[in-house]
Amino acid sequence: MRRHQLIILAAIVVAASAAALYVIRTSSVHGWDQRPDALAKLQPVAKPAILPAAAFFDDRGNRLSLAGFRGRHVLLNLWATWCAPCVRELPALAHLQGALPGLTIVAVNEGRETAADTTRFLKAHGADALHVYLDPDHAFLEALGVQGLPLSVLIDTRGMERARASGPAEWDDPEAVTWLREVTAPADNRHAP
């Protein structure tokens, strides 16, 4: 009788293990390393850290810093009107902002345009859903050691850089939106870290 109980117990353990593996394999896993192809340029950083301080301005001339966005997930995007890949990427960022209100898009114009010029430019290029942010002194370019534009940085709620993309990405691709929704969800709603 004892042998019969051991066989039953072993069968239960095997069945429970198989069920657990099935649940793990079929659950949604959207960690930093499982980016969709549309976000292939978005590379996770080895050691998340707070970005260097850099001052920038809103459309009213108010001086801002990324510290003011702490508590929110932020996608910092550095762009310029003379940068063709940046301009092509702006509508996708505007669509992403509409699709993911929990992700704050901080698209900072690195050119010399005024707030009014930048507002007109964004509207003319289908990106007027984005707020106007300016960095006329190129503080971000210097602080981040940027070599080219566009540059995008995904920042978590603690202000830590989690991933960086040099060059344009397809931010509004449906798989990209799904992945970004997952990685920026509150930790208790997330399927995977």
Predicted confidence (pLDDT) per residue in 9-65, tens digit: 555 655 555 444 333 333 333 466 689 999 999 999 999 999 999 999 999 999 999
Give residue 9's pLDDT.
Answer: 54
CA dihedral of residues 27, 31, 35, 36 (deg, nearest 10): 20
Give residue 18's pLDDT.
Answer: 47
Domain boundaries defined on the chain: 1-30, 32-189
Task: Give the C-alpha separation, 106 to 73, whole Å.
Answer: 10
Give residue 4's pLDDT.
Answer: 62
DSSP 45: P
DSSP H/E element including 190? none
What top-level class would CATH report for the domain 32-189?
alpha beta
The ranges of the chain with pLDDT < 50 are 18-30, 191-193
Q: What is the pTM of this model?
A: 0.81
Task: Give the C-alpha separation, 68 to 112, whole Å.
Answer: 23
The answer to whether residues 57 and 134 touch, using CB atoms and an 8 Å cutoff, is yes
The answer to whether residues 69 and 99 touch, using CB atoms and an 8 Å cutoff, is no
Give residue 78's pLDDT.
Answer: 98
The mean pLDDT of the chain is: 87
Planar angle of CA 92, 66, 177, nearest 5 degrees: 25
